Amino acid sequence: MATSLAPKVHNNFIGGEWLESKSGKAIENINPANTAEVVGIFPASDAHDVGHAVDAAQEAFKSWRLTPAPKRAEILYRAAELLVTRKEDYSRDMTREMGKVLAETRGDTQEAIDMTYLMAGEGRRLFGKTTPSELPNKFAMSVRTPVGVTGLITPWNFPIAIPSWKIMPALVAGNTVVIKPAEDTPLSTLNLAQALDEAGLPAGVLNVVFGDGPMAGAALLNNEGVHLVSFTGSTEVGRLVSEACAPSFKKCHLEMGGKNIIIVMDDANIDLAVDGAVWGGFGTTGQRCTAASRVAVHKKVYGEFVEKFTARVKALKVGDGLDPTNEMGPSINEQQLKTVMKYVEIGKEEGAKLVTGGRRLDSGAYARGWFHEPTVFTDCDPGMRIAQEEIFGPVVSVIPFDTFERALEIANGVKYGLSASIYTRNVNLAFQAQRDLETGIVYVNAPTIGAETHLPFGGIKNTGNGHRESGEAALDFYTEWKTVYVDYSDRLQRAQIDNAE
């Protein structure tokens, strides 16, 4: 077991207090770049802790739902201001617990800032609609109402941004929250909760329960006091979340896996496409649901692209994310590293050509971390497992094609549908691609990563279940529509009957 000099012990945040777990058990938060460092010790919570948090959220909902939305928004605005002042500290904490390079964790924190400001603005909007009634002297409108207690389960790869995607729209809409962050990256969610608490969020409106999925996560799903669940993670676990929500008809949002593609046409700016493929494939060590783990390249420019792409990937500097000269950090944990290594062997067995990488880095400066070389396979068949299955690591498969129609077939020939990209100077092809690609997000002349907070985020097929995060679209999940009719005719009027004459 890894050790550290007196790592800080943290508690759950329930009902406005930092409380020890009833389980008495703990989880060590390990630095994936240096497994000898324990970033902190967090509770391994159980159903008792989750139940306590849900009870606190239910009690707080009674008054929070009646707090005017602009007043709720003011608290979010103050939280955003605190996040701005703490951006560097929170980003460094994130690099230590998650591993990605500091430039990326600063972006992660900035996304939380952006989302918090955005949802603060929605506090004076939360628009409904008014519409003419079909009957005289009658007024008709629709308004948004909060759902109740929301249960949020978040992943480790964006440990402050994704919690903000879920927490902020939930709060501004008048819901209360119980969040179970990933056990690999609990500190970032703690930091976000601390900022909201100091901004004046009333006790019990936000509750944080640390722990793993089988104990804390499952208890949150199965608690009858939870009215809505939002989950981001693997498709396999998402299916279990959906099944757990179904018996009680909990409102359920799933954001799951991806096997995203960059299409490089023969008229593309090849240098720009290489830039995009490097960033899309190896940013966050490939540990993004939007990572560009497939690159389909037209045969006319295939040789040039592969040569330039391989050279760039070989030159990537891997190491501790706190070193500003490093460009790629470690895998999040040993299990994920072993998954990457397994798929590298699968790629070799399938006959793909390994042109760079393919090995674990485990000597010298890498000896105490979960590092892997950035890896590229070329001459891949689109049906290969490495081109079909989500690896969630620094492995990219390059696939040749000869026509635009074939490129679309390759792109759409996976079970996921999150993000896709095309590099081309042909405006006609760009518009055909954005129409025909079976994904929730499409980029033109940009990689498959880089979503902005004011636009809907999410996918289709085995990536999502129809809901979206970010932007105004998020409010559709965290609110219910209520239709209101006000009849001031002072007589009985019957819709569809009295107006038929």
Task: Tell whether 252 and 300 lie within a shared domain.
Answer: no
Active site residue 289: yes
Q: At residue 2, does pLDDT exceed 50?
A: no
Q: How buried is residue 225: exposed, middle or buried, by Cβ count under 10 Å (0-12/13-18/19+)?
A: middle
Q: Are residues 303 and 182 in the same domain?
A: no
- Position 501 scores a pLDDT of 59
392: left (phi over 0), alpha (psi -120 to 50) or beta: left
Residue 6 confidence class, pLDDT cut points 50, 70, 90: confident
Domain of 478 in residue numbering reads as: 12-30+38-256+464-483
Specify the pLDDT at position 316.
Answer: 98
Q: What is the mean pLDDT of residues 134-159?
A: 98
User: In the predicted model, is pLDDT for residue 342 greater than 90?
Assistant: yes
pLDDT at 3 over 80: no
Question: Does any domain span residue 5?
Answer: no
Specify whether 358 is located in the same domain as 416: yes
CB 432 within 8 A of CB 424: no
User: Within this chain, do residues 43 and 156 fall inside the same structural domain, yes or no?
Assistant: yes
245 is catalytic: no
pLDDT tens across 418-436, in order?
A: 999 999 999 999 999 999 9
Structure-block tokens of residue 176? 């209360």
pLDDT tens for 446-490 read: 999 999 999 999 999 999 999 999 999 999 999 999 999 999 999
**Position 4 pLDDT exceeds 90:** no
Q: Which residues is 295 bridged to in the sheet?
A: 262, 398
Given 245, 252, 289, 380, the catalytic residue: 289
Q: What is the per-residue pLDDT across 159-185, written as a single tens digit (0 to 9) for each?
A: 999 999 999 999 999 999 999 999 999
In a domain, 21, yes or no: yes
Q: Do residues 342 and 468 both lie within one domain?
A: no
> Which helix (DSSP H) or strand (DSSP E) does residue 486 occupy?
strand 479-487
CATH number at residue 402: 3.40.309.10
* Contact yes or no for 469/458 (Cβ under 8 A): yes
Whether residue 296 sits in one domain with residue 248 = no
Task: Give me the sign of the Cα torsion angle 170, 119, 103, 254.
Answer: positive
Residue-wise pLDDT tens digits, 368-383: 999 999 999 999 999 9
Q: Give a yes or no: residue 457 inside a domain.
A: no
Round to whole Å and give the CA distance between 297 and 316: 22
Of 192, 205, 210, 95, the residue nearest 149 (C-alpha): 205
Question: What is the rounded average pLDDT for all residues in the chain?
Answer: 97
Q: Which tops the pLDDT comparison, 501 or 159?
A: 159
Q: How many domains does the chain have?
A: 2
pLDDT in tens, 45-69: 999 999 999 999 999 999 999 999 9
Instruction: Tell me, yes or no, whether 322 and 206 share the same domain.
Output: no
- Which residue in 97, 111, 255, 373 is the catalytic one? 255
Q: State the pLDDT at residue 1.
A: 45
Coil vs helix vs strand at 147: coil
Instruction: Tell me: do 16 and 116 sit in the same domain.
Output: yes
Closest by alpha carbon to 144, among 380, 476, 387, 441?
Answer: 476
Domain-embedded: residue 500: no
As a whole number of Å, the CA-based R_g of the chain is 24
**CATH number of the structural domain spanning residue 93:** 3.40.605.10
Whether residue 93 is contained in a domain is answered as yes
Q: What is the mean pLDDT of residues 191-213?
A: 98
Asked if residue 398 lies in contact with residue 309, where contact means CB atoms within 8 angstroms, the answer is yes
Residues 292, 234, single domain; the answer is no
Do 233 and 289 fall into the same domain? no
Evaluate if residue 499 carries a pLDDT over 80.
Answer: no
Decide if 182 is inside a domain. yes
Nearest-angstrom CA–CA distance, 267 and 337: 37
Q: Is residue 277 part of a domain?
A: yes
pLDDT at position 495 over 70? yes
Cβ-count burial 233-249 (b if 16+ within 10 Å, e if not) = bebebbebbbebbeeee
Beta bridge partner(s), residue 485: 140
Please check whether residue 1 lies inside any domain of the structure.
no
Same domain, 87 and 208: yes
Both 384 and 477 in one domain: the answer is: no
